[in-house]
């Protein structure tokens, strides 16, 4: 038997679930434990009105149980909105496993997790997220049918679909702002050249855009400079680079009180999750005349590919739905102008309308 995961290192003051600041009428929150493997998991089902709750499982070395629960509550709610806005007949859920994926993930632990997922009877469907791989999904699939992204029924890495959605979203934003989605005379600053950002940069380069690129990982910058004739900019100043589009593809909370006044582009459209540090920053962007593509709208391609994967690798449904992100964004931009609301507020509104069956 493998060593159980360590007990929680710190104990924070207990907060009742229903009083938790991130509790948002979640339908069900399950805490799962397995004595043999030391598995500690929180599975949050936010909303199943549109269908079973699909959302990845994240394995992370949370400092304590409260941090894990907070993440599960927030991420599951985000999946409800992302799936609803993407037009998927799926609700929102998320699982977290407390532990270091590099040192504490074992097949026994994954099987124990799979049994917990199975006990939910299909109300929650799990998939890959941070700290998890396709091979892990295969192990979980030995215990439950309620898993996506396995090698038998998956399209592999979701990043190319996320990148395709972001590329499509950038073109929609250009069309709305400038009346043309032609990229040949446009400059895009891509911040973060990881799985998604590098592919977005490649797509943009192939469409004729001039690229500015930034990453804290120098070899990635060198690759983009050499392969896409990109110009490197300092990672901490990418938001201020003068361009037509700023595409954040690294970390969240990059749009905040400090960066928004310094933005060098009239459009922000990128893959990063949770780009707005706070909801009010959506309004701040609008007041400054910056067109913002809401993160969960533009980066839904990966979720779509997981949801619509077909045995045999047929990805036509996933590609079609990912390309529809452009139309969704144009609708958001137009409604935001008509109602004088932030694009984030409009995206939330459209998702809620679908959830409420309106
Ligand atoms: N992979 C997907 O399909 C997917 C789907 C939806 C959303 N997202 C979001 O998109 C973003 C990128 O995802 P990914 O899978 O490409 O991640 P990744 O870890 O492969 O890439 C992130 C890149 O950002 C760089 N980076 C980190 N901090 C930086 C900084 N301060 N300045 C500049 N660069 C920095 C890293 O060096 C890395 O190259 C994340 O926010 C992720 O949550 C990804």
pLDDT digits over 171-190, tens only?
999 999 999 999 998 999 99
For residue 314, pLDDT beyond 90: no
**Three-class SS state of 139:** helix
Active-site hit among 94, 105, 210, 321? 94
State how far the Cα of 161 lies from the Cα of 30, in Å rounded to an integer.
31
Minimal-distance CA residue to ligand 1 atom 27: 250
pLDDT tens string 128-162: 988 999 999 999 999 999 999 898 877 888 999 99
Ranges of beta strands (E only) in the chain are: 28-34, 39-47, 53-54, 57-60, 91-98, 124-125, 187-191, 210-214, 231-232, 245-248, 267-268, 291-292
pLDDT score, position 157 = 84
For residue 242, give both structure tokens.
């003068």
For residue 9, pLDDT beyond 50: no
Q: Is the CB of 302 under 6 A from ligand 1?
A: yes
Q: Which CATH class is domain 159-355?
A: alpha beta
CB 137 within 8 A of CB 150: yes
Question: pLDDT class for 7, splitting at 50, 70, 90?
Answer: very low
**Three-class SS state of 312:** coil
Q: Is 171 a catalytic residue?
A: no
Helix axis angle, 195-206 relative to 159-178, nearest 10°? 50
For residue 14, pLDDT beyond 70: no
For residue 197, give both structure tokens.
């950002």
Minimal-distance CA residue to ligand 1 atom 10: 272
Q: Which CATH class is domain 17-81+90-140?
A: alpha beta
Kindly give the distance from the C-alpha atom of residue 33 to the centroid of ligand 1, in angstroms, as a whole number. 31
Q: What residue has token string 């250009």?
A: 174
State how far the Cα of 121 lies from the Cα of 159, in Å rounded to an integer.
29
pLDDT score, position 13 = 61
Q: How is residue 261 annotated by DSSP?
A: G
pLDDT score, position 3 = 41
Mean pLDDT calculated for residue range 282-302: 97
State how far the Cα of 55 lies from the Cα of 78, in Å rounded to an integer.
9
Choose which residue among 159, 193, 196, 309 to substitute to test ligand 1 binding: the one with the highest number of ligand atoms within 8 A of its C-beta.
196
Find residue 223's DSSP bridge partners: none
- CB neighbours of 54 closer than 8 A, spacing ≥ 6? 79, 83, 88, 90, 91, 92, 93, 125, 127, 148, 303, 306, 307
Task: Please tell me if the domain spanning 17-81+90-140 has the same topology as the one spanning 159-355.
Answer: yes
* This prediction's pTM: 0.91
Minimal-distance CA residue to ligand 1 atom 19: 194
Q: Is the CB of 194 under 6 A from ligand 1?
A: yes
Minimal-distance CA residue to ligand 1 atom 20: 194
CB 260 within 8 A of CB 292: no
pLDDT score, position 12 = 55
State how far the Cα of 298 lies from the Cα of 278, in Å rounded to an integer.
18
pLDDT score, position 69 = 95
State how far the Cα of 282 lies from the Cα of 265, in Å rounded to an integer.
15
For residue 6, pLDDT beyond 70: no
Least confident of 184-188, 225-229, 313-317: 313-317
pLDDT score, position 328 = 98
State how far the Cα of 192 lies from the Cα of 186, in Å rounded to an integer.
19
Q: What is the DSSP string of 168-237?
A: HHHHHHHHHHHS----TT-EEEEE--SHHHHHHHHHHHHTT-EEEEE-SSHHHHHHHHHHH--EE--GGG
Choose which residue among 94, 250, 274, 299 to substitute to test ligand 1 binding: the one with the highest number of ligand atoms within 8 A of its C-beta.
250
Minimal-distance CA residue to ligand 1 atom 40: 272
Mean pLDDT calculated for residue range 110-118: 98
Q: Is the CB of 220 under 6 A from ligand 1?
A: yes
Domain spans of the chain? 17-81+90-140, 159-355
Rounded mean pLDDT of the chain? Answer: 94
Does residue 17 have a known ligand-binding role? no
Q: What residue has token string 């309620």?
A: 146
Does residue 242 have a known ligand-binding role? no
Question: pLDDT class for 2, splitting at 50, 70, 90?
Answer: very low
State how far the Cα of 169 lies from the Cα of 202, in Å rounded to an integer.
15
Atom of ligand 1 lying closest to residue 197 CA: 16
Mean pLDDT calculated for residue range 268-297: 96
Choose which residue among 79, 251, 275 to substitute to test ligand 1 binding: the one with the highest number of ligand atoms within 8 A of its C-beta.
251
For residue 208, give both structure tokens.
């004729």
Mean pLDDT calculated for residue range 339-358: 95
């Amino acid at each position: 038997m493998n060593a159980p995961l360590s007990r929680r290192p710190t104990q924070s003051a207990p907060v009742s679930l229903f009083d938790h600041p991130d509790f948002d009428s979640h339908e069900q929150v399950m805490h799962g434990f397995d004595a043999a493997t030391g598995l500690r998991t929180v599975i949050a089902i936010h909303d199943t009105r549109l269908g079973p709750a699909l959302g990845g499982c994240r394995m992370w070395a949370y400092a304590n149980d409260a941090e894990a629960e907070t993440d599960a509550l927030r991420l599951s709610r985000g999946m409800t909105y992302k799936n609803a806005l993407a037009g998927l007949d799926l609700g929102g859920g998320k699982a977290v496993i407390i532990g270091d994926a590099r040192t504490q993930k074992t097949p026994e632990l994954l099987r124990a997790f799979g049994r917990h997922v199975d006990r939910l009877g299909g109300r929650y469907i799990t998939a890959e997220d941070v700290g998890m791989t396709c091979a892990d999904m295969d192990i979980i699939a030995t215990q439950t049918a309620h898993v996506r992204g396995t090698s038998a029924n998956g399209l592999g890495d979701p990043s190319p679909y996320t990148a395709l959605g972001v590329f499509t979203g950038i073109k929609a934003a250009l069309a709305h702002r400038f009346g043309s989605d032609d990229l040949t005379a446009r400059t895009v600053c891509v911040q973060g050249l990881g799985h998604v950002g590098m592919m977005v940069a490649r797509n943009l380069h192939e469409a004729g855009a001039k690229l500015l690129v930034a990453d804290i990982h120098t070899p990635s910058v060198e690759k983009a400079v050499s392969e896409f004739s990109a110009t490197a900019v300092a990672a901490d100043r990418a938001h201020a680079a003068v361009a037509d589009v700023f595409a954040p593809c690294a970390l969240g909370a990059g749009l905040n009180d400090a960066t928004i006044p310094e933005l060098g582009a009239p459009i922000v459209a990128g893959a990063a999750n949770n780009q707005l540090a706070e909801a009010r920053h959506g309004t701040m962007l609008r007041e400054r005349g910056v067109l913002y593509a809401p993160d969960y709208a533009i980066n839904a391609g990966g979720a779509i590919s997981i949801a619509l994967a077909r045995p045999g690798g047929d990805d036509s449904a996933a590609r079609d739905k990912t390309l529809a992100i452009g139309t969704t964004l144009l609708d958001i931009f137009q409604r935001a102008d008509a109602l004088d609301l932030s694009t984030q507020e409009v995206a939330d509104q459209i998702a809620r309308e679908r959830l409420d069956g309106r």
